[in-house]
């Protein structure tokens, strides 16, 4: 029991147990946060995200300039079996002068009829994607290979770009941007697409 019961004849209530204090403190914090969010004083995560071609950063705290933090260093040649699977890998590099922490990388769907197959991974190389979770500290000049695996549609994928949303943190600053890592799915040779004559 979280609260201790009063015994018959007790004149004063017993003190709250440690667990009861924690429950009351958490309830108070959640109630306060809900009140502030309802009044618009806390950023809401359900705000519309930037369009895939956008390079603007959200600003939940001081602004982190994308040109001074991470950049797409290179995009690997896409790997595909031509019918069911496509792997897109790219290399992120810390192009700034301070350490940054890569928080998350998420493919921005829809992407030409592709469906995400499995988690985004890090490590490895262009020819052999890694199996680690993306993220962690990147010192200036350091790179991290990021790979995304997609399931292909039954027909020819639409010739669209492949955008990703990247979130990073540097000290107390957080930034999120959407960048294109593969310019056009039409440049990939899929067995399900008509061949040029």
Q: How confident is the model at residue 41 (pLDDT cuts 50, 70, 90)?
A: very low
**Tens-place pLDDT, residues 76-103:** 999 999 999 999 999 999 988 889 999 9
This prediction has a pTM of 0.65
**HEC secondary structure over the chain:** CCCCCCCCCCCCCCCCCHHHHHHHHHHHHHHHHHHHHHCCCCCCCCCCCCCCCCCCCCCCCCCCCHHHCEEEEEECCCEECCCCEEEEEEEEEECCCCCEEEEEEEECCCECCEEECCCCEEEECCCCEEEECCCEEECCCCEEEEEEEEECCCCCCCCCCEEEEEEEEECCEEEEEEEEEECCHHHCCCCCCCCCC
């Amino acid at each position: 029991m979280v609260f201790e019961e009063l015994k018959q004849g007790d004149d004063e209530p017993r003190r709250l147990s440690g667990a009861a204090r924690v429950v009351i403190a958490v309830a108070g914090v959640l109630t306060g946060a809900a009140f502030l969010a309802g009044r618009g004083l806390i950023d809401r995560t359900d705000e519309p995200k930037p369009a895939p071609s956008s390079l603007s950063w959200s600003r939940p705290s001081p602004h982190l300039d994308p040109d001074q933090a991470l950049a797409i260093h290179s995009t690997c040649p896409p790997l595909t079996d031509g019918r069911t699977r496509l792997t897109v890998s790219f290399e992120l590099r810390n192009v700034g002068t301070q350490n940054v922490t890569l928080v998350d990388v998420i493919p921005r769907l829809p992407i030409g009829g592709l469906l995400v197959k499995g988690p985004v991974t890090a490590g490895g190389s262009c020819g052999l994607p890694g199996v680690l979770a993306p993220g962690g500290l990147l010192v200036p000049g350091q790179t991290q290979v990021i790979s995304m695996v997609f399931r292909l549609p039954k027909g020819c994928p639409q010739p669209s770009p492949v955008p990703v949303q990247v979130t990073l943190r540097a000290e107390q600053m957080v930034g999120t941007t959407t960048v294109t890592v593969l310019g056009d799915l039409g440049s990939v040779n899929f067995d399900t697409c008509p061949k040029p004559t």
